[in-house]
């Protein structure tokens, strides 16, 4: 599916001041950015605008501040410094967003300059999408560029607001993310294997539902598999389960069967007697989970089963780990799946990773460059995969 909104290519930016919403919601430790993926991802659009003679005013949220004023540990200054370090550009920062100080700094932005504003969420009106905020921000630019894919599902002031007052177009990251994550449903090269894991069925029900509509094979692992086991009549010991979702899980399995979609669930599991760093794993079959054990990872037979299905795919979509991968002794299944997914691109297929913890897992196993596309969005990528429209994208000018 082609991207249906205008992008920075469709507007004349020379000599203009561009207000650009990025997603610099990055992890920080002691005031230093510990994962700069999202800053890197915004650079192509920033570079394009700078090279085409625009002055650039960047804004973002970082974390979830209360909205009662500045919270120094959630300042965007470290992200601005990271952008300067990665690009070699002179990047200015102003510790204000909506006040006079910000307005003065914006007024001083000349073609080629880059200014980063302070965290848009230090004022509660941002999350309420207050028109005052939107108008104020819109006054900072001639054109609004949305490149904050990770936040495009939030109908908040800095995401959707300026589009009501000034021409609004997409940046390259937003365009690529939306294109990639929607094209797998429009015309996937087959076989299309979807892999969903993570903790809960309830948080991914829309995703599972939509995947059943287009995938040839659906692989379900991680904590959510146990709710499906219950739907199949197995016992699951003390594993993570959502009793309220058992019926819905059963309906999913029926829907998949009716549509001829193959569903693969774990055939064996690594179980432990408690959830903890010191927990020791043992392998049991899925129809034999002891009452006092919890499933923490997929077992070796399942690794093989899932791996074979994945390696035969031309398109793979993956979201959610296969086990408690943060603990090394329960990371094996997620690593095996990650390695199988890595082979898909090597064999000429396409592998798309839908944000969140799966990305952390891929980075942990150092496989990022072996994937075709790793989304910078967590919630935003899931909403797209559910088939929902993203408010930030909706607000942009139609192409």
**Cβ proximity of 353 and 373 under 8 Å:** yes
**What is the helix (H) or strand (E) element at residue 84, kind and residue range?**
helix 77-87
Which phi and psi angles does 53 have, rounded to 5°? 80, 25
Q: Does 214 bind ligand 3PG (CB under 6 A)?
A: no
Candidate residues 141, 150, 161, 222; the one interacting with ligand 3PG per rule CB under 6 A: 150
The bridge status of strand 217-220 relative to strand 168-170 is unpaired
Upstream peptide bond of 191 is cis (omega within 30 degrees of 0): yes
The tokens for 237 are: 């010991």
**Cβ proximity of 94 and 58 under 8 Å:** no
357 marked ligand binding residue: yes
Name which of ligand 3PG, ligand ATP, none residue 295 binds, using a CB cut-off of 5 to 8 Å depending on partner kind: ligand ATP
Q: Does 378 bind ligand 3PG (CB under 6 A)?
A: yes
Question: Residue 356 CB, nearest distance to ligand 3PG (Å)?
Answer: 8
Asked about 92 being catalytic, the answer comes back as no
Name which of ligand 3PG, ligand ATP, none residue 349 binds, using a CB cut-off of 5 to 8 Å depending on partner kind: none
Which phi and psi angles does 18 have, rounded to 5°? -105, 125
The tokens for 295 are: 């499933």
Question: Residue 242 CB, nearest distance to ligand ATP (Å)?
Answer: 12
- Report, in angstroms and rounded to the nearest whole number, the Rg of the chain calculated over CA atoms: 23
Query: Binding string, 366-395, against ligand ATP, x = CB under 6 A?
Result: ------------x-----------------
**Cβ proximity of 265 and 229 under 8 Å:** yes
Question: Residue 360 CB, nearest distance to ligand ATP (Å)?
Answer: 8
**Cβ proximity of 257 and 232 under 8 Å:** no
62 marked ligand binding residue: yes
Asked about 5 being catalytic, the answer comes back as no
Question: Residue 45 CB, nearest distance to ligand 3PG (Å)?
Answer: 17
Asked about 379 being catalytic, the answer comes back as yes
The tokens for 6 are: 């205008």
Strand partners, 55: 17
Asked about 233 being catalytic, the answer comes back as no
Q: Does 171 bind ligand ATP (CB under 6 A)?
A: no
Name which of ligand 3PG, ligand ATP, none residue 25 binds, using a CB cut-off of 5 to 8 Å depending on partner kind: ligand 3PG
Torsion of CA 353, 356, 359, 365, to 10 degrees: -130
CA count, 13 A, side-chain hemisphere, 386: 15
Toward ligand 3PG, which CB reaches closer, 37 or 329?
37
Encode 179-216: b = buried (16+ Cβ within 10 Å), e = exposed: ebbebbbeebeebbbbbbbbbbbeebbebbebbbebbb
Q: Does 320 bind ligand ATP (CB under 6 A)?
A: yes
Candidate residues 52, 82, 125, 154; the one interacting with ligand 3PG per rule CB under 6 A: 154
Total residues contacting ligand ATP by CB under 6 A comes to 20
Candidate residues 199, 285, 304, 372; the one interacting with ligand ATP per rule CB under 6 A: 199
Residues 39-68 that bind ligand 3PG (CB under 6 A): 64
Candidate residues 45, 97, 151, 334; the one interacting with ligand 3PG per rule CB under 6 A: 151
Candidate residues 45, 97, 217, 358; the one interacting with ligand ATP per rule CB under 6 A: 358
Distance CA 290, CA 294 (A): 8
Question: Residue 327 CB, nearest distance to ligand ATP (Å)?
Answer: 8
Q: How many residues does the chain have?
A: 399
Which phi and psi angles does 268 have, rounded to 5°? -145, 165
Binding residues for substrate: 23-25, 38, 61-64, 121, 154
Catalytic residues: 38, 200, 356, 379
Binding residues for ATP: 204, 295, 326, 355-358
Q: Summarize as ranges the residues that interact with ligand ATP (CB under 6 A).
A: 198-200, 203, 222-223, 240, 295-296, 319-321, 323-324, 326, 355-358, 378
Q: Summarize as ranges the residues that interact with ligand 3PG (CB under 6 A).
A: 23, 25, 64, 150-151, 154, 378-379
């Amino acid at each position: 599916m082609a991207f249906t909104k205008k992008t920075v290519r469709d507007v004349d930016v020379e000599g203009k001041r561009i207000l650009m919403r990025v997603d610099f919601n990055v992890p920080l430790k002691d005031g230093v950015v510990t994962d700069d993926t999202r800053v890197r991802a915004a650079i192509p659009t920033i570079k394009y605008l700078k090279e085409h003679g625009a002055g650039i005013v960047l804004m973002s949220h970082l974390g979830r501040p209360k909205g009662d004023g500045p919270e120094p540990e959630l300042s965007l200054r470290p992200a601005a410094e990271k952008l300067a370090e990665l690009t070699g550009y002179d990047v200015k920062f102003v510790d204000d967003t909506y006040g006079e100080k910000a307005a003065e700094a914006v007024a001083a932005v000349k073609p080629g300059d880059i200014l980063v504003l302070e965290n848009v969420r230090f004022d509660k009106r941002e999350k309420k999408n207050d028109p005052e905020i939107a108008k104020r921000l819109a006054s900072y630019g001639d054109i609004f560029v949305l490149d904050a894919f990770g936040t495009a599902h939030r109908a908040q002031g800095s995401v959707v607001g300026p589009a009501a007052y000034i021409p609004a177009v997409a940046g390259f990251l937003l365009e690529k993310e939306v294109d990639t994550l929607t094209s797998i449903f429009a015309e996937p090269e087959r076989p299309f294997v979807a892999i969903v894991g993570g903790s809960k069925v309830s948080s991914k029900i829309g995703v599972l539902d939509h995947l059943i509509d287009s995938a040839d094979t659906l692989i379900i692992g991680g904590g959510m598999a146990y709710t499906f086991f219950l739907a199949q009549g197995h016992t699951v010991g003390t594993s993570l389960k959502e009793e309220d979702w058992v019926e819905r899980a059963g309906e999913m399995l029926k829907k998949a069967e009716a549509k001829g979609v193959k569903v693969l669930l774990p055939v064996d599991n690594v179980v432990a007697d408690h959830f903890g760093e010191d927990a020791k794993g043992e392998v049991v079959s899925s129809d034999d989970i002891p009452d006092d054990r919890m499933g923490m990872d997929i077992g070796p037979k399942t690794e093989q089963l899932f791996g074979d299905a994945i390696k035969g795919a031309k398109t793979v979509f993956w979201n959610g780990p296969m086990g408690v991968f943060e603990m090394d002794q329960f990371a094996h299944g997620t690593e095996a799946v990650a390695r199988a997914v890595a082979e898909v691109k090597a064999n000429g297929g396409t592998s798309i990773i839908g944000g969140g913890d799966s990305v952390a897992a891929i980075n942990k196993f150092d496989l990022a460059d072996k994937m075709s596309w790793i989304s910078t969005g967590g919630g935003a990528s899931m909403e797209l995969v559910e088939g929902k429209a993203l408010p930030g994208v909706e607000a942009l000018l139609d192409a």
